[in-house]
Structure 1
Amino acid sequence: MRYLLILVLCFTAVNSYSQDSTATKTPSIVKGTITSSTTEGPLTEVNIVNINQVKGVATDDNGEFEISAKVNDTLHLSYIGYKSIKVRVTNDWLKFGNTEIVMTELALALEEVTVKQLKLTGYLEVDIKQVPITSNNRYRISGLYGQGYEAGKPNIATKVLGAIFNPADFLYNMFGKKPNEMHKLKKMKEDDEIRNQLAKRFDREMLLVLLQVNKFDLDEIVNQCNYSKDFINTANDLQILDAISECYEEYKVIKRSKDLKKGRKKGKA
């Protein structure tokens, strides 16, 4: 009888371990409700992104959401006017279902805005000289065909080509040393919810979190990919994503061609 009891306990322990191991490796549906610390009510349209799986959802009118995740995946939650937070998925969360997550409101201070008055005379030849002129070297709008126009700067292919042959180049370091992060670009473009979220945003926060770069590096990537400062300052997050993705695809094509040439030279030698 004692041996039978031991066998049952061993079987239970093995079965429990097997379930936990499976839960860790197999994506499950995580459910949650997001509320405000100020109003204690639900928050609608909160952006939730699984950083590991590159999946995105938004909360409904009741502040509820469901997203595919595995144990130890990290969810990034962001909402305008509230402090963004990261939440790790645990075994308990998967077992016990819906979890309430409270977000804290930010104290926002408006920056002083200076409005400059243009003194117009009514004469076109005179007034047109007062209008500030900005030069867009390259401008591409997401969803529209065409590559915009160039003005005095080398195109993307030339920039990327220079990066591959110069290991000290900024693009070489960013694209070559962050392959896992850059591979997320394709997943981000394929996820409709993430694209919809990025199209509404201009803060770059979601891009910074998913690509694991800081704001300076993100702007510099777009700049080195031959997009103008005007584009960097005015484009929404989806347009920035498309710009970096296009540049990275150019990088992969040119690098693949360079590696093939190297292989052929070694074969001949």
Structure 2
Amino acid sequence: MFRFVFLFFVFNTVSVSGQGTASQLLHGKVSFEMTGLDGIYVVNLKTENTVITQDRGAFSIMAKVGDTLVFSGFQYKKIQVVLTDEDFGGSLFVVRMQPIMNQLNEVVIKRYDNINAVALGIIPGNQKSYTEAERKLYTATDLNASASAGGMAGGSVSADPLLNFLSGRTKMLKKELEVEKKEQYMKLLEKMFDRDYLVNRLKIPLAYLKGFEYYTVENDKFTKILVSNNKVTTEFLLGELALKYKEIIACENE
């Protein structure tokens, strides 16, 4: 009889203790290969409380032993973790994410390096390739010695460059070429750094995102580094421009 009462007392003590465990603030970090990941969603399935990791992957969420936390983010595998006593032991709770690998079927590409427009005689070799804006400007300013000037002194050069200059067409085409270059810089920037990087890592407000891209390509030093495809140097300079741009935004909003 004594043994039965003792076991009943122990069972009820453990049960009451487990039910009375209060939620507490769990501090943690989400990372991938020693790099903190910001923008990762952390969801407590029991309470439905949700937070997003901040700078260097840090987060804090209310939870208790037995709760299940779900970690999910763009291009990373979803992870579920059931919390234990050890997770609240005082040290930082660390979760390591794994990227989603999209495996493609094998593609065999046959190269025909010797067959091209030059080899086929369609265009002469060593010919400069022009963009549309460059071609328009070149045509408008080229001095064609074989053309008649139509009454100009000597009649040895075309009158088109002079007429284009006087009419303002040359100036307009130069501006068009500058716009084309900036568009190419912006495409290169967007290819190298996606929207998530600019918004979540550099903290550029979404409403100012396009304005920031225009701001960067107006910087000659940045565009020279950008076209060099040196991502490390480009990323460093982009971070400096982001700080200056956010200062401009702050001044405008005062």
TM-score tier after normalising by the smaller chain length: 0.3 to 0.5
Using the size of structure 1 for normalisation, the TM-score is 0.31
Using the size of structure 2 for normalisation, the TM-score is 0.33
